[in-house]
Structure 1
Amino acid sequence: MKKLIFTVIVYCCICNLKVYSQLIVRNWGFEQYDAIGVEIGWTQINTRQQYILDQDTIIFHSGKRSYSVEAKSDTAKDRGMGGAGTMYLSHTISQKRKIKVSAFIKTKNLTEGAAGILVILNGEKGQVFQADNHEKSPTGTTDWTKYELELPLTADVRSVSFAFVMTGKGKAWFDDVQVMVDDQVVDDKTW
């Protein structure tokens, strides 16, 4: 039941990008922020407003910034989730075989939850398939580690939503997201 609720919430948060996704600058390393400090190309996810979502200019995997998600200190047991998501809507997934999404994740005192990647394959009438790496999520305090999910692209897939999210107590950092379609790196020019 929790997985279903988790999926519905993330899907709803990400779907509002559908209209604009072709215009978004892909900000894979979280280096670009707008004038008020919001990361460009990503929609923040904070389902119960129990997380502090921020850029970190001290701890990062590469570049000068990472994206951090930290549980507020006096949160209820059911915190929801915090993170960010985006959607890949492109003719370039047509007739392709697979998509792989990866990111580097670092954690500090992560308990009672997970930090990871979620990928949702969307069809004409809704979700076709979804996967996450929460069963292999880092716990406690960990250094930067690359996590990835690979899914097949079937003929009924029209778009791919992906997010990185944290549940539970503690803090997680995310950096250097990479998307590959049929082993080819997706960059701004292929969107």
Structure 2
Amino acid sequence: MGTALLGLIGPIVGGVAVVLTTYWTTRPKALAEARKFEAEADRTRAETTKILAEIDVRRPSVAPQDTTPKGWSVSGSVPEDYEVGLDLEVFSVGRASAYIRSRHENPAGYAGLVQTIKADDYRGTRLQVTAMVKARDVVGWAGVWMRVDDAHDHTLAFDNMQNPERRIAGSVGWRRYSIALDIPENAAYINFGAVMERTGQIWLDDVRVNVVDDSVPVTDITSRFPRHPVNLDFENGTY
């Protein structure tokens, strides 16, 4: 019986040994493959996020529209939910204004009116964009905006008045709004215009782009970020 039992146990032990040997010899390779797949997944997620961010910021109009003011274009996350055009009856100065309005009661994202110019003549200066804006029943928010990009489409400076203290909302009569950004030496393009999110309508008129001195404060959103981390142990209370 002992011989028979040994005969049965021998192949089992041998099989286990083979499995264990195979496991320990292939485990590093399997882990390496797993890490490789995980790294590729992380890279794919990062690239997808970047693509979505680029689409969100720089997506052009879904189709050329006859109503788009000459020299301007439409951008935004879901521009097809909005209408952009000229208004020959409502204006601040002259004979016309531009407008952005929602096409239905539940628009997604936002839409913007944008003009892009080369930064060559403005490098090293502080540039101010001002515009007359009128709003009617804006449920989300609206604002004048400007973004400075380098040659690789990396954002160098940006402001869109989204801050609660500066945004345009509700119904507001004609009023001049302004933003100002420093134009770095590596700037390639300057984008500016107006933006609106959700329902309502805004009118844009008498846009001005001027170089200003240091007495005009910069409104760059990115300049408000702290240079170093703060309150990492959460011991400094709350706002």
Given the two structures, how large is their TM-score scaled by the length of structure 2?
0.58
Q: Distance in 1 between matches of 2:151 and 2:196?
A: 29
| Structure-2 residue corresponding to 1:10 | 57
Correspondences of 1:15-30 after superposition (within 5 Å):
none
Normalized per residue, which structure has more strand? 1
Separation in 1, partners of 2:76, 2:125: 32
Structure 1 CA distance for aligned equivalents of residues 54 and 95 of structure 2: 31
Larger mean CA deviation between 83-92 and 135-144 belongs to: 83-92
Q: Contact 1:53–1:68 at 8 Å: present in 2 too?
A: yes
Match of 2:89 in 1: 58
Kindly indicate whether residue 186 of structure 2 is the aligned counterpart of residue 139 of structure 1: no
- What runs of 5+ residues in structure 2 fail to find an aligned partner? 1-51, 214-239
SS in 1 for 2:60: helix
Write the mapping of 1:168-183 to structure 2, written as runs, cut at 5 A: 168-182=198-212
Asked if structure 1 preserves the Cα contact closer than 8 Å seen for 2:143 and 2:160, the reply is yes
Change (3 A) 1:170 1:10: same
- The structure, 1 or 2, with the larger RCO (C-alpha pairs under 8 Å, 6+ apart) is 1
| Structure 2 counterpart of 1:81, one-letter code | Y
Structure 1: unaligned runs, 5 residues or longer = 15-34, 184-191
Given that 1:117 and 1:134 are in contact with CA atoms closer than 8 Å, whether structure 2 keeps it comes out as no
Corresponding residue number in structure 2 for 1:83:
112
Q: CA deviation at 1:9?
A: 2.5
* Percent identity for Structure 1 against Structure 2: 20
User: Which of the two has higher C-alpha Rg?
Assistant: 2
Alignment match of 1:152 (pick from 182, 187, 200): 182
> Per-residue deviation at 1:43?
0.6
1:163 counterpart (176, 193, 202): 193
Distance in structure 1 (CA, Å) of the matches to 2:55 and 2:181: 19
Aligned residues: 155
Instruction: State the shift of 1:89 in Å.
Output: 0.4
Q: Residue type matched to 1:13 in 2?
A: P
Which structure: greater helix fraction? 2
* TM-score normalised by length of structure 1: 0.72
**Residue 143 of structure 2 is aligned to residue 127 of structure 1:** no
